[in-house]
């Protein structure tokens, strides 16, 4: 039966509608393709390229650090780090996996990091598009666990990075400092200088002062990644790699022989410091602070518990006592009082003041001498030799505050020395302005000069300043500026800065008297334990009163006395007299450096113990002066 006209019309209309819908749909597709491929071609091409080409940073190794003889002190070694890499934009499913609680808990357990810290680093990576380091220098067990689970841990990869390495461990730790991972706040401040998350930055010591020279230039590599963010190939359209450029190497004035000798004699010291300077140019030959730390710990990453121990413990091992510890200089300051008196015409080497009966009455108060039996009548040279407090009480009154303060400042005391180490403290050399602020204008009395002249009262110096004073005295008051970096490889124009202080000018005969007195301190005075066979040593002991416990022991010296090449300063906290504690340490160091047998053979522990016993015996026989 033939369809009716009505049915044929209905079919025709349906066919026409379907064709129209098909044409409309095809038109929409064509228009969409035109928009994607013609109108917005550049925009989507860029997005597409970002989706499949990823920029990976190749971190530059920091410059190496050497001592003056080329011995390695710090370098960079390859290590394996666990990183999270952000995904291409289209990997929405992978991004959801990363946000899941299961992924976060598993990754935190494997990398042994707090889950909140992992979440924070992942968020930063997703926002910035840059990789985030989750575990630096991961041990083999962690690496193995990560490799076993990599297929199930979206975004997690193992990456080879340079790790800061200090081959000598705690040796010269405070001097070298350490490099740690840059924090979020620092990153914001240094974003314009090319720093990225996970970069190392110098925190203390030479690492911090010379950060801009030690830090190299990072390289880059473009790689093709799949939807999981994993590397699959290298692109052909862009340069695939720019190699990183290492930082500048530094050659220090440090002498590892001197540094090791200082470290060994201070091995049993709970708290203290020692500094060795070259009195010819101010170069630091050795610098030790106790207690110490191992800078490699910061390269590997510290737990919060370990950081609290290092930063909040009572011993405070991160404190560099050599440049940040402030101590009354005790009788070592008598060098300043003596040279100030000679320069001011207050005394000559043969000057004799009232005899010492064991103390002095001034202003209704008894000022005792360390030698309760008294020293009797002494001239200026003998007063320094025997460290007679009563003689220097009288000398201080004759000098007056302005001349004493000026002499100290001409040596560079009471202000930072300008050494190329960060966070140096300047100490305190009080003057009239200081006492006016403290007590009121004109309300302080001359009696304070008695304490200042023997290195007590408000005087505070660092061990480095004591070494600087000694080095300048060794070469007749010539000003010096302590410095650590001798040469920057690749920067021939580098020169250590010049000293800011003027130094102390005295006639040659006056300097001869100072040097003679300092030699007598060692040969026939309070520092007999610092004697070294065949070596002329000039020094000065000191015992600084400590209101919080036992006295601090101090000793400064230089050698050889006829042609000084090393100046030493020791401060040992809460240990007693300088002559019986600090002077023997200097003697041990000088024996090791100058005696022929110690130059030819290493210093084993047995020899060190024997030397310590000899020094203890010598100190027991020596006068127990300050």
What are the tens digits of pLDDT across the range 223-236? 666 555 556 555 66
Per-residue pLDDT tens over the stretch 128-186? 667 778 887 788 888 888 877 777 777 788 888 888 999 999 999 999 999 988 877 88
Helix pair angle (401-410, 389-399), 10° resolution: 100
Using CB atoms within 10 Å of the CB of residue 329, give its burial: 0 to 12 exposed, 13 to 18 middle, 19+ buried.
buried
- Contact of 170 with 267, CB cutoff 8 Å: no
Q: Are the folds of 59-111+122-252 and 256-621 the same? A: no
Which pLDDT belongs to residue 291? 94
- Contact of 611 with 533, CB cutoff 8 Å: no
Confidence of residue 91 (pLDDT cuts 50, 70, 90): low
- What percentage of the chain reaches a pLDDT higher than 70? 85
Distances (CA, A) of 526 to 76, 577, 578: 47, 10, 8
Per-residue pLDDT tens over the stretch 554-603? 999 999 999 999 999 999 998 888 999 999 999 999 999 999 764 433 43
DSSP 57-84: EEPPPPPPEE-TTS-EEEEEEEEEEEEE
Check: CATH 3.40.710.10 for 256-621? yes
By C-alpha distance, which of 541, 536, 543 is closest to 566?
536
Which pLDDT belongs to residue 621? 42
DSSP 8-state secondary structure symbol assigned to residue 204: S
Which pLDDT belongs to residue 280? 96
Would you list the domain boundaries of the chain? 59-111+122-252, 256-621
Check: CATH 3.90.1310.10 for 59-111+122-252? yes
Per-residue pLDDT tens over the stretch 463-510? 999 999 999 999 999 999 999 999 999 999 999 999 999 999 999 999
| Whether the model pTM is above 0.85 | no
Per-residue pLDDT tens over the stretch 348-398? 999 999 999 999 999 999 999 999 999 999 999 999 999 999 999 999 999
Using CB atoms within 10 Å of the CB of residue 60, give its burial: 0 to 12 exposed, 13 to 18 middle, 19+ buried.
buried
CA distance 372 to 99: 77
């Amino acid at each position: 039966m033939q369809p009716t006209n009505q049915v044929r019309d209905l079919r025709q209309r349906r066919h026409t509608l379907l064709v129209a819908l098909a044409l409309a749909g095809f038109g929409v597709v064509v228009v969409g393709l035109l928009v994607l491929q013609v109108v917005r071609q550049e925009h989507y091409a860029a997005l597409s390229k970002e989706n499949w080409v990823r920029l990976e940073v190749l971190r530059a190794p920091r410059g190496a650090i050497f001592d003056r003889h080329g011995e390695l002190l710090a370098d960079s070694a390859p290590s394996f780090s666990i990183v999270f890499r952000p995904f291409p934009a289209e990997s929405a499913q992978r991004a959801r996996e990363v946000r899941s609680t299961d992924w976060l808990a598993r990754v935190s357990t494997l990398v042994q990091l707090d889950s909140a810290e992992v979440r924070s680093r992942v968020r930063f990576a997703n926002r910035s598009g840059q990789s985030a380091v989750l575990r630096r220098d991961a041990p083999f067990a962690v690496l193995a666990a990560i490799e076993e689970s990599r297929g199930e841990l979206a975004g997690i990869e193992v990456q080879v990075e340079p790790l800061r390495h200090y081959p000598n461990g705690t040796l010269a730790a405070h001097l070298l400092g350490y490099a740690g991972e840059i924090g979020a706040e620092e990153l914001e401040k240094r974003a314009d200088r090319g720093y990225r998350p996970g970069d190392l930055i110098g925190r203390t010591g030479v690492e911090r002062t010379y950060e801009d020279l030690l830090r190299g230039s990072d390289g880059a590599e473009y790689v093709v990644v799949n939807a999981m963010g994993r590397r699959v190939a290298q692109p052909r359209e862009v340069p695939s790699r720019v190699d990183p450029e290492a930082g500048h190497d530094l050659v220090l004035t440090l002498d590892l022989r001197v540094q090791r000798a200082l470290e060994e004699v201070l091995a049993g010291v709970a708290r203290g410091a020692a500094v060795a300077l070259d009195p010819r140019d101010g170069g630091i030959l050795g610098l030790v602070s106790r207690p110490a730390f191992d800078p490699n710990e910061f390269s590997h990453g510290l737990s919060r518990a370990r950081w609290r121990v290092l930063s909040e413990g009572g011993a405070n091992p991160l404190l560099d006592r050599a440049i940040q510890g402030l101590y009354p200089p005790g009788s070592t300051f008598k060098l300043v009082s003596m040279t100030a008196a000679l320069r001011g015409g207050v005394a000559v080497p043969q000057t004799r003041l009232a005899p010492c009966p064991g103390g002095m009455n001034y202003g209704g108060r008894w000022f005792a001498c360390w030698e309760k039996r008294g020293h009797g009548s002494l001239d200026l040279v003998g007063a320094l030799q025997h460290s007679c407090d009563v003689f220097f009480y009288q000398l201080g009154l004759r000098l007056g505050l302005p001349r004493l303060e000026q002499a100290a400042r001409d040596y560079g005391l009471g202000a930072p020395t300008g050494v190329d180490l960060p966070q140096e403290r300047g100490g305190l050399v009080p003057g009239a302005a200081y006492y006016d602020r403290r007590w009121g204008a004109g309300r302080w009395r001359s009696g304070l000069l008695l304490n200042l002249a023997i290195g007590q009262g408000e005087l505070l110096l660092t061990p480095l300043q004591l070494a600087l004073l000694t080095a300048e005295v060794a070469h007749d008051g010539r000003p010096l500026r302590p410095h650590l970096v001798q040469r920057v490889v690749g920067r021939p124009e580098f020169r250590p800065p010049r000293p800011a202080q003027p130094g102390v000018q005295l006639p040659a005969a006056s300097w001869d008297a100072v040097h003679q007195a300092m030699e007598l301190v060692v040969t026939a005075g309070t520092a007999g334990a610092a004697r070294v066979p065949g070596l002329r040593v000039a020094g000065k002991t000191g015992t600084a009163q400590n209101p919080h416990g036992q006295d601090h022991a101090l000793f400064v010296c230089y050698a050889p006395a006829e042609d000084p090449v090393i100046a030493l300063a020791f401060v040992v906290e809460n240990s007693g007299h300088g002559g019986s504690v600090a002077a023997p340490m200097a003697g041990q160091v000088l024996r090791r450096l100058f005696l022929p047998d110690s130059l030819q053979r290493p210093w084993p522990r047995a020899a060190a113990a024997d030397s310590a016993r000899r020094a203890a015996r010598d100190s027991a026989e020596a006068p127990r002066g300050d």
